[in-house]
């Protein structure tokens, strides 16, 4: 691995000049086979997933915002990453792994999904997938402007750049195979509903704002299909009103789930599911699959004790009611036992909750990508 890294680090080295492009591709394929993790999930017959690509927001961002110093949506500082490998904050918005990592781990591809903007990203990382998601992003273009994040349209631009790099590494035919057989994950809408709608509500009611989100989602997913993606898992909006922050600002004295954000999430989810059926008709060789995250997450939040948690309405960081991103920092205390909590900060679940969600979701929906 070290020698291969050195080989790619200097295109002018004699070793690089000696090896043909075919030999490089052969080495990368060997590296891919040798370095795969042991998958925990049994894939359906005749289904292989060579790589995973992730688009969306902070729920799945693995560090693409680290160098966006003007962005509010960053987490590359303590106490984020407290339980990650080595206790190092990497830009993941949780105490440990996020869904992007858990998905590739469950599929046996690799242990972590690196951010595409990682400074020392290796060619071997390109072959098995990367993350394009950016914390604070959303379907609404205004969301990324407010948060200083990479909009979903910008994430598609990065993906186009990635395709060119992939073809240079493995060749055009292999690149087409990887894109056609890989799993594409889209997780967006939370920041739109939680944050941006408060600004938009003067001009949009719930139905019209859900249409705005849907139109943007349609453009994004249509282009993703046109770029060669064939297995696209689109996650629903979660029960936004039950996140600690929304309970704080809209849940009244008793800090109950805020109904308005939940109503908007449910309305959008219904329309998003219908959109995916339409896309499958327009792209008959593709599988655009709606992933219902709303109901299983809501069950954990409302019935947290059933799952072994002690706290379901506040996060582990600080007071647990408002702290998120740069407001959850080294000046804040954190809970002594994160496994007692559903939420890490006022917006994002703990790694433990993500683990409870991801494996059953993959098991439930993977057969639809045959």
Residue 219 has pLDDT above 60, yes or no: yes
Q: SS3 helix, strand, coil % of the chain, rounded to 5?
A: 50, 10, 40
- For residues 28 and 169, is the Cβ–Cβ distance under 8 A? yes
Q: Is residue 65 in a domain? A: yes
- For residues 289 and 365, is the Cβ–Cβ distance under 8 A? yes
Q: Is residue 254 in a domain? A: yes
Q: Is residue 338 in a domain? A: no
Residue 225, pLDDT score: 98
DSSP letter for 368, please.
G
Q: Is residue 69 in a domain? A: yes
160-174: burial string, b at 16+ Cβ within 10 Å, e else: eebbeebeebbeeeb
**Total structural domains within the chain:** 1
CATH number at residue 81: 3.40.50
Q: Is residue 111 in a domain? A: yes
Residue 47, pLDDT score: 76
Residue 158 has pLDDT above 50, yes or no: yes
Q: Give 120-136 pLDDT, tens digit per residue.
A: 999 989 999 999 999 99
pTM flag (> 0.75): yes
The catalytic residues are: 58, 345, 348
Rounded to 5 degrees, what are φ and ψ at 293? -100, -15
Sequence-distant (6+) residues with CB within 8 A of 105 are 37, 39, 40, 97, 111, 112
Please state, in angstroms and as integers, the Cα–Cα distance from residue 178 to each residue in 129, 231, 364, following that order. 9, 11, 23
Q: Give 175-218 pLDDT, tens digit per residue.
A: 999 999 999 999 999 999 999 999 999 999 999 999 999 999 99
Residue 370, pLDDT score: 80
- For residues 41 and 47, is the Cβ–Cβ distance under 8 A? no
Q: Is residue 303 in a domain? A: no
Residue 40, pLDDT score: 64
Q: Is residue 30 in a domain? A: no
* Cα–Cα nearest to 95, from 105, 87, 106: 87
* Domain span at 169: 42-292+351-368
Q: Is residue 283 in a domain? A: yes
Q: Give 24-80 pLDDT, tens digit per residue.
A: 444 444 444 444 555 567 777 777 899 999 999 999 999 999 999 889 999 999 999
Sequence-distant (6+) residues with CB within 8 A of 277 are none
Q: Give 313-369 pLDDT, tens digit per residue.
A: 999 999 999 999 999 999 999 999 999 999 999 999 999 999 999 999 999 999 999
Mean pLDDT of the chain: 90
Residue 104, pLDDT score: 97
């Amino acid at each position: 691995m070290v020698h291969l890294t050195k080989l790619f680090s200097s295109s002018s080295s004699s070793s690089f000049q000696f090896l043909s492009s075919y030999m490089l591709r052969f080495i990368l394929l060997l590296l891919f086979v040798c370095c795969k993790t042991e998958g925990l999930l049994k894939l359906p017959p005749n289904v292989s997933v060579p790589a995973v690509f992730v688009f969306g927001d902070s729920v799945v961002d693995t560090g693409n915002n680290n160098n966006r110093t003007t962005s509010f949506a960053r987490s590359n500082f303590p106490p984020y990453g407290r339980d990650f490998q080595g206790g190092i904050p990497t830009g993941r918005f949780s105490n440990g792994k996020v869904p992007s990592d858990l998905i590739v781990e469950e599929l046996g591809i690799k242990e972590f999904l690196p951010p595409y903007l990682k400074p020392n990203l290796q060619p071997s990382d390109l072959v098995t997938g990367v993350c394009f998601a950016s914390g604070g992003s959303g379907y609404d273009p205004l969301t990324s402007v407010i948060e200083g994040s990479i909009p979903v349209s910008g994430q598609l631009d990065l993906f186009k750049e990635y395709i060119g790099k992939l073809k240079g590494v493995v060749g055009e035919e292999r690149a087409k195979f990887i894109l056609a057989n890989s799993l594409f994950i889209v997780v967006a809408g939370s920041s739109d509903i939680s944050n941006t709608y408060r600004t938009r509500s003067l001009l949009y009611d719930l139905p019209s704002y859900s249409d705005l989100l849907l139109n943007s989602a349609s453009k994004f997913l249509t282009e993703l299909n046109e770029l060669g993606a064939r297995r696209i898992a689109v996650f629903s909006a979660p029960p936004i009103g039950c996140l600690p922050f929304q309970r704080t600002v809209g849940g009244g004295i008793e800090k109950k789930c805020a109904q308005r954000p939940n109503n908007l999430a449910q309305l959008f989810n219904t329309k998003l599911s219908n959109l995916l059926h339409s896309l499958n008709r327009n792209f008959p060789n593709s599988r655009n699959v709606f992933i219902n995250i709303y109901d299983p997450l809501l069950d954990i939040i409302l019935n947290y004790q059933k799952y072994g948690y002690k706290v379901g309405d506040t996060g582990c960081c600080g007071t647990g009611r408002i702290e998120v991103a740069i407001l959850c920092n080294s000046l804040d205390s954190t809970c002594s036992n994160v496994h007692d909590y559903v939420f890490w900060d006022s917006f994002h679940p703990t790694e433990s909750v993500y683990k409870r969600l991801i494996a059953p979701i993959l098991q439930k929906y993977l057969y639809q990508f045959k």
